[in-house]
Amino acid sequence: MAAGIKPSGALDVGLLVAERPLTWAGAFTRNPAAAECVNWNRAALGRRARALVVNSGNANACTGSAGRNTVEATAAATAGLIGCRVDEVLVCSTGPIGVPLDARLIETALPSAACSLGAEVEDFSRSLLTTDTFPKVSTSSASGASVIGVAKGAAMIAPNMATMLAFLGTDADVSSDDLRAAVDWAVDRSFNRLCVDGCESTNDSVLVLATGNGPKLGPQELRDGLLEVCSDLALKMARDAEGATKLVRVRIEGARSETHAVELGRAVARSDLWRAAAHGADPNWGRVLAAVGAVDRGLVVGTTSVAIDDELLFAKGEPCGLLAVAAAAMSGDEFTVTVTLDQGDAVAEVLTADLSEEYVTLNAEVTT
Amino acid sequence: MAAGIKPSGALDVGLLVAERPLTWAGAFTRNPAAAECVNWNRAALGRRARALVVNSGNANACTGSAGRNTVEATAAATAGLIGCRVDEVLVCSTGPIGVPLDARLIETALPSAACSLGAEVEDFSRSLLTTDTFPKVSTSSASGASVIGVAKGAAMIAPNMATMLAFLGTDADVSSDDLRAAVDWAVDRSFNRLCVDGCESTNDSVLVLATGNGPKLGPQELRDGLLEVCSDLALKMARDAEGATKLVRVRIEGARSETHAVELGRAVARSDLWRAAAHGADPNWGRVLAAVGAVDRGLVVGTTSVAIDDELLFAKGEPCGLLAVAAAAMSGDEFTVTVTLDQGDAVAEVLTADLSEEYVTLNAEVTT
């Protein structure tokens, strides 16, 4: 529904209703300035859920007791409408921080939203969007069960949780414990390996609901199913980051642990200088090495190499390769920068996007 | 001298010669991808220095054995010219990383540089500049001795060392130990409280030379004298950061320690979203709180306040104040954002600048 929260009149309230209470699990921002809706959902962990209400256009974060009241009023209105307990309603918000959100806008829109149940998932996914330019929907059935997910990203994209909302549903028949573990596992390997502007938000949430109508899945099958959808959504978020013109894969090889590899990957992924170079297709690999060295004080430059796609540009302590070949690789809409260390066997890939003038323009405007 | 390292033909080699070997001390980048000249100067710590050669337009970093040879050849040529030992020559470089630097360009320029000794300090300071738009010179005599400093900044401005070169001279009569301690103390309170794009460089160096021709200074007088000049240079660097249109002071009050206050100040200072908001004069204080919460997991939002200059925008867990007043304050060429915690008495101020489209344009161009 378009409830009027977004001044543009675009879709800004989405409602997801289950026929009966569902097992669910979630992962949330670790920011102590978390929005009241995040606190609300956290408190609901362990209970079953019947409905999810989401609004875009206002994060309802740092809005004090009025913000709390809005969350409660939204949940109560939804519960009254569909006939469930108030604590079976999950609430998510995304948009500017610190702007009062009038609960009546959502309450007024909810009845029409309830009448639209059964609409295309793309309409629901559109109701989440802020500065995203396209809706993000992914599906998988590789694990035997069906998994579907929708997400919004755009700005404030950083670990933990890559500042975003993602909602996944599956028909898998799984225990609450297995679901919780699988969500953490999949989020850690997907959204937490997406780092665009390094800014963590107050509203990040990934919620996964399971109907249990489908096949029983073992723990690893469930993880794989969720990871496939989460990874694809993360990729779509990187491609659609604010102002982004290209996807940049930062690959770290030869690290002493996967955690270490992810840490170094994030350091490169959040380097403004490197992301600006990526925007200009400038194979400025020195900025990559500088970013790695800024977090890995034990880096040995002489045994570290840097490559853009297949073109090795720095190895054995010396520049090498053809910058023109690397520049050509960077000119497309996707490329990989690989840093290879000599510290172990661990590998990780972190996704980011280039830093463009448009990112600045979008975020200098009052008020996204 | 203009040695032809910069394609523009601007000044790119500077030479500083002392009449006799001087006590000196330095602080350097902690990046393990440090340039060979940084390693060269580090090895000279504890010895006296007769000369300093600096070039801009090429960082001579990550350039392998050829880079080492260039540093040695530069020092040798200088030593031959002025009649000192090779290990009495300090060498600094700044510019793009990973580009071979031809030592002959510097060797050819050095004799003319030697003939120009005694020129205005501003000419020397110009020879350091990369994308800086004005030379940075500061002086102080408050401590009783004279202190003069020159610096270059522009991009890759982050702790530690705020990615920069700064050279200070004083006529103070001080011991080598006192000078070393005073440099660390002053750098920690000035350049290490400057954080623009969060990128640490491979060439950061602060070198301080003392002639001993002037008054004997106690340790604290020396520290105060150096700090005054370092702080002023840091301020000039923030004002002249790449693409910057305004200086932003990030002030943290009520922190549990000064280290903690500096850490939180840096977190706000390096937030792309907040810096873009600063550019657009958008008082988006939610981005400030989110940045603080991303590093202080114990933040209590209900006892934290945020103000722009004198306008309180968030206090006691609720938005307050007038955004229009804050926006007006942000429209000038300088403003302060203050975050007040309820954790202790410690205070710190970190300097940054707004993030503009021009920063991206400058750094997307091949190759700065």
Domain layout of chain B by residue ranges: 13-239, 247-364
* Annotation marks residue A336 as catalytic: no
Q: Residue B244 in contact with residue B238, Cβ under 8 Å? A: yes
Helix (H, G, I), strand (E, B) or coil at A356: coil
- Work out the percent of chain A whose per-residue pLDDT is above 90: 61
- Work out the percent of chain A whose per-residue pLDDT is above 70: 96
d(CA B304, nearest CA chain A) in Å:
10
Asked if the model's pLDDT at residue A162 lies above 50, the reply is no
**Cα–Cα distance measured from residue B283 to residue B322, given in angstroms and rounded to the nearest whole number:** 10
Query: Is the CB of B200 inside 8 Å of chain A's CB atoms?
Result: yes
Instruction: Look at residue A274 in the predicted model and tell me its pLDDT.
Output: 92
Contacts of B292 in chain A (CB under 8 A): 33
Asked if the model's pLDDT at residue A228 lies above 80, the reply is yes
Asked if the model's pLDDT at residue A161 lies above 70, the reply is no
**Cα–Cα distance measured from residue B206 to residue B204, given in angstroms and rounded to the nearest whole number:** 7
- A13-239 belongs to which homologous superfamily? L-amino peptidase D-ALA esterase/amidase (3.60.70.12)
Contacts of A286 in chain B (CB under 8 A): 59, 61-62, 96-98, 202
A259-280 per-position pLDDT tens digit:
999 999 999 998 988 999 999 9
DSSP string, A173-198: B--HHHHHHHHHHHHHTTGGGB-SS-
pTM of the model: 0.85
Answer whether B290 sits within 8 Å of A202, measured CB to CB: yes
Query: Is the CB of B328 inside 8 Å of chain A's CB atoms?
Result: no
**Cα–Cα distance measured from residue A112 to residue B129, given in angstroms and rounded to the nearest whole number:** 62
Q: Which two tokens stand for residue A78?
A: 């939804």
Query: Is the CB of B31 inside 8 Å of chain A's CB atoms?
Result: yes
Q: Is the dihedral of CA A279, A284, A287, A289 positive or negative?
A: positive
Say which of B23, B78, B163, B352 is annotated catalytic. B163
Asked if the model's pLDDT at residue A125 lies above 90, the reply is no
**Cα–Cα distance measured from residue A77 to residue A57, given in angstroms and rounded to the nearest whole number:** 20
Instruction: Look at residue B368 in the predicted model and tell me its pLDDT.
Output: 45
Q: Residue B195 in contact with residue B238, Cβ under 8 Å? A: no
Longest Cα–Cα distance in chain B: 68
Instruction: Look at residue A156 in the predicted model and tell me its pLDDT.
Output: 54
Instruction: Look at residue B126 in the predicted model and tell me its pLDDT.
Output: 80
| Partner B, chain A 226-265, Cβ-Cβ below 8 Å | none
Instruction: Look at residue B116 in the predicted model and tell me its pLDDT.
Output: 80
Q: Residue B263 in contact with residue B351, Cβ under 8 Å? A: no
What tens-digit pLDDT sequence spans chain B (368 residues)?
999 998 889 889 999 999 999 999 998 888 888 899 999 999 999 999 999 999 988 999 989 899 999 999 999 999 999 999 999 999 999 888 888 999 999 999 999 888 888 777 888 888 877 777 788 888 898 778 889 888 887 655 544 433 578 899 999 999 999 999 999 999 999 998 988 776 677 888 889 999 999 999 999 999 999 999 999 998 988 888 888 899 999 999 999 999 999 999 999 998 988 999 999 999 999 889 989 988 898 999 999 999 999 999 999 999 999 999 999 999 999 999 999 999 999 999 999 999 998 888 888 875 54
Asked if the model's pLDDT at residue A258 lies above 90, the reply is yes
Let me know the angle formed at the C-alpha of B188 by B187 and B192, rounded to the nearest 5 degrees: 85
Helix (H, G, I), strand (E, B) or coil at B23: strand
Least confident of A153-167, A232-246, B121-135, B268-282: A153-167
d(CA B124, nearest CA chain A) in Å:
27
Contacts of B267 in chain A (CB under 8 A): none
Q: Residue B54 in contact with residue B125, Cβ under 8 Å? A: no
Least confident of A40-49, A299-308, B80-89, B289-298: B289-298
Question: Closest Cα to residue A236, out of A141, A149, A349?
Answer: A149
Q: Which two tokens stand for residue A5?
A: 């929260």
ipTM of the complex: 0.81
Buried b (16+ CB within 10 A) or exposed e, A108-147: ebbeebeeeeeeebeebbbbbbbbbeebbbbebeebebbb
Contacts of B98 in chain A (CB under 8 A): 284-286, 289, 313-314, 319
Answer whether B327 sits within 8 Å of A366, measured CB to CB: yes
**Cα–Cα distance measured from residue B127 to residue B136, given in angstroms and rounded to the nearest whole number:** 11
- A247-364 belongs to which homologous superfamily? ArgJ beta chain, C-terminal domain (3.10.20.340)
Asked if the model's pLDDT at residue A143 lies above 90, the reply is no
Burial class (CB in 10 A: 0-12, 13-18, 19+), A333: exposed
**Cα–Cα distance measured from residue B36 to residue B103, given in angstroms and rounded to the nearest whole number:** 13
DSSP symbol at B303: G
Query: What are the φ/ψ torsions at residue A246 (nearest 5 degrees)?
Result: -155, 155
Specify the pairing of strand A346-353 against strand A305-308. unpaired
* Mutation for testing the B interface, residue in A30, A62, A352 having most B CBs under 10 Å: A62
Burial class (CB in 10 A: 0-12, 13-18, 19+), B219: middle
Q: How would you classify residue A118: left for phi > 0, otherwise alpha for psi between -120 and 50, otherwise beta? A: left
**What's the mean pLDDT when you consider all of chain A?**
89
Instruction: Look at residue B166 in the predicted model and tell me its pLDDT.
Output: 86
| Angle of the B357-364 helix axis to the A272-279 helix axis, nearest 10 | 70
Give the mean model confidence (pLDDT) for residues A287-297: 90
DSSP symbol at B81: H
A65-121 per-position pLDDT tens digit:
999 999 999 999 999 999 999 999 999 998 888 889 999 999 999 998 888 887 778
Instruction: Identify any residues that bridge with B252 across adjacent strands, giving them in sequence order.
Output: B339, B348
DSSP collapsed to 3 states, A292-311: HHHHCCCCCHHHCEEEECCE
